Structure 1
Amino acid sequence: MYRFLLTPRWLGILALTLVAATVMVFLGNWQLDRYRGRTEINERIDAGERMTPAPLRDALTAPTGGAGSTGPAPAEEKVWTRVTVTGRYDPTNTVLVRGRTVDSRVGFEVVTPLVLADGSAVLVDRGWIPPAPGGATAQPEVPAAPTGDVTVVGRVHETESGAGAVDRRDGRLETRRISVPRLARELPYPVYGAYVLLDEQTPAADPLFTAVPVGHTNNWQNFGYIVQWWLFAAMTLFGYGWVARREARRAAGLDDTRPVDRAAEPEPSASA
């Protein structure tokens, strides 16, 4: 019954079916890798919230170059590590990061270099503040940074990609993305290769600041794609088998596919 499957036409259909199913399985495996990677990130974020802060140098390698240079990026497992570090803020090189949304409001994140005793610095995201009246890009009044020694507790955040230009407006640096290497070129000291997202500091931060929330990655979206692609692969193979079986039954005369002529059927007689 199934010898027709060896004909060139059906061998071609089988080849296309197998190729399509293989591609769908590959796409499902790719989404599985992304799901695992995002799940690991979420686990590190959760672990960072619970852990005791470690010294900054336990998570980041100190920069060794001159002014404007950047230290090595953190190892993947060190991103979102909770750290503590003591230094002095350099308010003359405060960075305003515009177009940042917190609680559905657009404003600025304020990044200030914290200069350490050895002369190097780490960028600290002190929090979010609303813009001045006049629009989302109106430069805000930034609360003064504490003077003297400041102890910061926060989480290691890797540098952001897709950075644009860094401008100096009204005495402050301004940008849209926190690209540590690009910002470091504007600073008079070597800078660590990641920035710290502030959780708390001593002396306490100004109450005008809103803490920048740490968003978890949407790993369940990837899980849905896994199910989708693997289901499509199974449906493709099932569809080939179903069509082949129907063709075999038709060739064997087991399925009557001829149309029924209803006009030729006798009408039932009327009852008395």
Structure 2
Amino acid sequence: MSTPPPTFRQVATRPRWIGVLVACLVVAAVFALLGQWQIDRAVEQGKTDERDTETAVPLESVAQPSSTLTTEAGGRMVAFSGTWVPEDFDTLAGRKQDGRTGTWVIGRVLVPQSAGEPVSLAVALAWFEDAAAADALSARLSGAGADAADDLVGRLMPTEAPTQGDVQGDTADAMSVAALINEWDAYDGRVYGSYAILDAASADASGALVDGAEPIVSSRPTVNTQLNALNIFYAIEWVAFMLFAFYLWYRLVKDALEREHEAIEDAEAEAAAAGGETARG
């Protein structure tokens, strides 16, 4: 009587293959956790920035002198007061606004500190399409004396990198604090590492919105609301690895089952051959 071949279930429920299945489950769980981590990363990077950047807060509460602008402070509206330095009004060429190229009028405010000496803050006041009009306003403000800069509001922006023109002392077109401090009068080494763009009301109160001048457009910080495609791809990879772990277990059991079937068939063939030789004898 021939031996009945085992079924896939019979082989799979043997202690050896149950142990292998448990190991595959552990590996699959690790892959699932890694996939979940990648999904969380993608979703986190795709979240909208919920910061309130439009309500003005005191400058000292979000920025420190001689420090890099933090993510929390970058692009938000700040309130400050101080004194204009008349010698340090200037212009910046090549500033784009609403698809046009024009000139900024910029200045320097000495901002008092709760402890210590005032700190310099670079300020952008107004935009002109006509460079000559910008130069005229800069000259007029320079001759006005050290006026108070009271209750100003502006958007705090990170300093820009100096351009080749700035480095060579030619026409400046970058709002670079590093370049400006080389031009400021009686600069004492205390400075904010960022600059402020005045809102329309503050620019008007500072006398910058004369004929031909426009408030500088400063939009709230843009945010990336797109899911990170690379993280999603990695998550899919981890799911594929997890499924492969189960497939590997299935393939190992299937191969063991096939080997047993082949062994039974070989044994039956040998038995039949031996019986035939006995009958002939």
Query: Which TM-score bucket, shorter chain as reference?
Result: 0.5 to 0.7
> How far, CA to CA, are the matches of 1:120 and 1:114 in structure 2?
8
Structure 1 counterpart SS, 2:60: helix
- Count the aligned residue pairs: 217
Instruction: State the match for 2:134 in structure 1.
Output: 142
Structure 2 counterpart SS, 1:238: helix
Gap change, CA 1:18 and 1:127, over 3 Å in 2: farther
> How far, CA to CA, are the matches of 1:225 and 1:237 in structure 2?
19
Instruction: State the match for 1:113 in structure 2.
Output: 108
Structure 2 counterpart SS, 1:186: coil
Instruction: State the match for 1:235 in structure 2.
Output: 240
Amino acid at match of 2:134: V
1:82 is displaced (CA, Å) by: 2.1
Which structure features the higher share of helix residues?
A: 2
**Cα pair 1:108 1:129 within 8 Å, conserved:** yes
Instruction: Please show how residues 1-272 of structure 1 align to structure 2 within 5 Å.
Output: 31=42, 34-35=45-46, 39=48, 42-44=49-51, 47-49=52-54, 51=55, 53-61=56-64, 71-74=66-69, 76-79=71-74, 80-88=76-84, 90=86, 92-96=88-92, 98=94, 100-116=95-111, 120-130=119-129, 141-142=133-134, 144-145=137-138, 146=141, 147=144, 148-151=147-150, 152-160=152-160, 162-165=161-164, 166-167=166-167, 168-169=169-170, 174-176=172-174, 178-188=175-185, 189=187, 190-200=190-200, 201=202, 202-203=205-206, 205-206=208-209, 207-218=213-224, 220-242=225-247, 245=250, 248-249=253-254, 252=257
When Rg is computed on C-alpha atoms for both structures, the one with the higher figure is: 2
> How far, CA to CA, are the matches of 1:19 and 1:191 in structure 2?
50
Amino acid at match of 1:85: S
**Cα pair 1:107 1:128 within 8 Å, conserved:** yes
Structure 2 counterpart SS, 1:43: coil
> How far, CA to CA, are the matches of 1:163 and 1:245 in structure 2?
63
1:191 is displaced (CA, Å) by: 2.5
1:234 is displaced (CA, Å) by: 1.4
**Cα pair 2:126 2:208 within 8 Å, conserved:** no
CA-based RMSD of the aligned residues comes to 4.4
> How far, CA to CA, are the matches of 1:94 and 1:244 in structure 2?
74
Amino acid at match of 1:72: S
Instruction: State the match for 1:66 in structure 2.
Output: none
Gap change, CA 1:193 and 1:246, over 3 Å in 2: same
1:176-222 Cα deviation digits (max 9, x unpaired)? 4x33234323323242232112223114542434422233221x224
> How far, CA to CA, are the matches of 1:158 and 1:192 in structure 2?
10
> How far, CA to CA, are the matches of 1:105 and 1:251 in structure 2?
75
Structure 2 counterpart SS, 1:215: coil
Structure 2 counterpart SS, 1:235: helix
Structure 2 counterpart SS, 1:48: coil
1:149 is displaced (CA, Å) by: 3.4
Q: Which runs of 5+ in 1 are unaligned?
A: 64-70, 133-138, 254-272
**Cα pair 1:28 1:225 within 8 Å, conserved:** no
1:223 is displaced (CA, Å) by: 4.9
Gap change, CA 1:126 and 1:90, over 3 Å in 2: same
1:154 is displaced (CA, Å) by: 1.0
Structure 2 counterpart SS, 1:192: strand
1:240 is displaced (CA, Å) by: 4.4
**Cα pair 1:54 1:82 within 8 Å, conserved:** yes
**Cα pair 1:110 1:128 within 8 Å, conserved:** yes
Gap change, CA 1:212 and 1:235, over 3 Å in 2: same
Identity %: 19
Amino acid at match of 1:236: F
1:90-140 Cα deviation digits (max 9, x unpaired)? 465525164x5444445555432234576642111235444x6xxxxxx67
Instruction: State the match for 1:68 in structure 2.
Output: none
Q: Which runs of 5+ in 2 are unaligned?
A: 1-10, 259-281
Amino acid at match of 2:183: E
